[in-house]
């Protein structure tokens, strides 16, 4: 029952995201000429061409750490959003905070270097390594991410800003068609180099650790999750050291009945977060065609404005608003907008007709999960703690 409710609510969220992005993209296309000059890219140099370090053979078990990629944050301020032209850019960024973590998750999976990698709505005590990110800039031409990764002990693996720029060659020569999703499904992300660099940097940290340290980390994660379920029973097993990192004071007996129940509860929790990860993946798949078009359009516009600004700074004769080049660029932008206008409207109408189920009314007496996915995740954690208390009543450490 809980999973049925979760699926229904998440389905409605996916529809909302998808319809929203379609509306935003159509608005952008029809108001293309209202953009301001792009801001200068600041920060470290772009990552350049990066080859993902892929394991030819699956690493040994102790090296297969489980990773959680938390939904990203954004640092765009209200002032920056206003300067960009309209508040719709804030909504696009909100979509990106759910979309980009899936791209990083897929890259880590493709490396064949890790255990289970999931996208999560919140921090999770059951993972060995947690990756958090903040989108500093994303306009189709540039992507800047602040990435922070820590393991279950609190040790910092990454705290770095990553920059990548997309060239014309990283976008298709043709404009992808939203009617034929196969034209966008297999397109590589234009900022794949950035995600590959993050994956390679994480791998370098893991490779600097010996097998004993990795085994100890996995054991610490197990006890940390046990302490989240029952601080009274397991909280004393973990203590911070002088640097503030959690250290394992001792391990419970292997036949400890409480620890056996922890393993059972953790398995149920993994089923739940696997389900959440699947829905983030489905959301990514659904949004990709629309998001690819928006990003390519934004890229072309940013590049055009940068070239126009450079031409004006150099005293070029074609930079004026009435020049033949400017008029041609405006016409091409308008023509592109009109070509896609009918397709977007038709596609949006199709979504409305196909995804208009009756609203599910939940009684306060229903023992289910309600609200946004972040709230459902928090409710699930509470339910597991209550379940652990019920199942272990009468048992002693």
Contact (CB, 8 A) for 380 and 387: no
Q: Per the domain annotation, does 310 fall within a domain?
A: yes
- Residue 367: pLDDT band (50, 70, 90) is very low
Domain extent for 270 = 41-319
How many Å apart are CA 89 and CA 80, to the nearest integer?
A: 10
Burial of 109 (0-12, 13-18, 19+ CB in 10 A): middle
Alpha carbon distance 174, 300 (integer Å)? 13
Question: Per the structure, how many domains does the chain have?
Answer: 1
Neighbours of 342 (CB within 10 A): 9
Residue 127 pLDDT class (50, 70, 90 cuts): very high
Tens digit of each residue's pLDDT (9 = 90 or more) over 328-349? 555 555 555 544 444 444 443 4
Instruction: Kindly report the average pLDDT of the chain as a whole number.
Output: 76
Residue 309 lies in a domain: yes
Note whether 166 and 190 are within 8 A (CB). yes
Distance CA 22, CA 45 (A): 33
Task: Give the pTM.
Answer: 0.79
The two most distant CA atoms of the chain are separated, in Å, by 85
Stretch (H or E) spanning 159: strand 156-165
Residue 30 is assigned to a structural domain of this protein = no
If one compares 51 and 7, the residue with the highest pLDDT of the two is 51
- pLDDT 10s digits, 149-174: 999 999 999 999 999 999 888 887 76
- β-partners of residue 240 are 246
Residue 262 falls within a domain, yes or no?
yes
pLDDT (average), residues 284-302: 79
Residue 11 pLDDT grade (very low, low, confident, very high; cuts 50, 70, 90): low
224 domain residue, yes or no: yes
Whether 236 and 226 have beta carbons less than 8 Å apart is answered as no
Backbone angles phi, psi at 138, to 5 degrees: -160, 110
Residue 330 lies in a domain: no
Structure tokens at 120: 């999560």
Confirm if 198 and 147 have CB atoms less than 8 A apart: yes
Residue 336 lies in a domain: no
Contacts of 28 (CB under 8 A, 6+ apart): 88, 294, 297, 298
Rounded to an integer, what distance in angstroms lies between the CA atom of residue 20 and that of residue 92?
9
Residue 166, burial from CB neighbour count under 10 angstroms (0-12, 13-18, 19+): buried
Confidence of residue 290 (pLDDT cuts 50, 70, 90): confident
Could you tell me the two tokens for 357?
Answer: 């189920």
Return d(Cα 102, Cα 119) in angstroms, integer: 7
CB 106 within 8 A of CB 260: no
3-class secondary-structure state, position 131: strand
Structural domain includes residue 376: no
Q: pLDDT (tens digit, 9 = 90+) per residue, 73-84?
A: 987 655 555 554
Distance in angstroms (rounded) separating the CA atoms of residues 39 and 37: 7
Residue 198 backbone class (left: φ over 0; alpha: ψ -120 to 50; beta: rest): alpha
Contact 178, 347 (CB under 8 A): yes
């Amino acid at each position: 029952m809980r999973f049925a409710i979760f699926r229904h609510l998440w389905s409605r969220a996916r529809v909302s995201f998808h319809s929203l992005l379609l509306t935003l993209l159509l608005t952008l296309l029809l108001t293309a000429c209202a953009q301001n000059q792009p801001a200068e890219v600041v920060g470290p140099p772009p990552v350049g061409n990066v080859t993902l370090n892929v394991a030819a053979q699956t690493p040994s078990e102790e090296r297969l750490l489980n990773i959680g990629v938390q939904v990203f944050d954004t640092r765009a301020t209200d002032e920056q959003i206003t300067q960009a032209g309209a508040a719709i850019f804030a909504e696009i960024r909100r979509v990106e905070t759910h979309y980009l973590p899936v791209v990083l998750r897929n890259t880590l999976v493709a490396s064949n270097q890790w255990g289970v990698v999931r996208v999560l709505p919140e921090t999770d005590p059951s993972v060995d390594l947690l990756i958090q990110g903040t989108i500093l800039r994303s306009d189709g031409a540039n992507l800047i991410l602040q990435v922070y990764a820590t393991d279950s002990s609190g040790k910092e693996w990454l705290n770095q800003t990553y920059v990548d720029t997309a060239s014309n060659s990283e976008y298709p020569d043709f404009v992808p068609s939203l009617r034929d999703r196969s034209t966008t499904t297999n397109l590589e992300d234009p900022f794949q180099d950035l995600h590959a660099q993050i994956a390679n940097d994480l791998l370098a940290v893991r490779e600097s650790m010996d097998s004993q340290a990795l085994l100890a980390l996995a054991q610490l994660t197990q006890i940390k999750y046990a302490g989240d379920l029952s601080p009274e029973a397991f909280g004393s097993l973990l203590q911070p050291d002088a640097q503030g990192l959690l250290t394992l004071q001792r391990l419970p007996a292997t036949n400890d009945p409480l620890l056996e129940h922890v393993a059972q509860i953790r398995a149920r929790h993994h089923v739940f977060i696997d389900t959440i990860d699947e829905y983030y993946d489905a959301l990514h798949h659904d949004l990709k065609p629309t998001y690819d078009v928006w990003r390519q359009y934004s890229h072309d516009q940013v590049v055009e404005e940068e070239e126009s600004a450079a031409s004006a700074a150099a005293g070029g004769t074609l930079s004026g608003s009435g020049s033949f080049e400017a008029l041609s660029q405006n016409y091409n932008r308008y023509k592109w907008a009109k070509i896609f206008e009918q397709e977007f409207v038709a596609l949006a109408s199709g979504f409305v007709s196909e995804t208009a189920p009756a609203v599910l009314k939940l009684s306060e007496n229903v023992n289910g999960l309600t609200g946004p996915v972040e709230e459902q995740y928090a409710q699930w954690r509470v339910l597991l703690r209550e379940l652990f208390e019920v199942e272990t009543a009468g048992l002693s450490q």
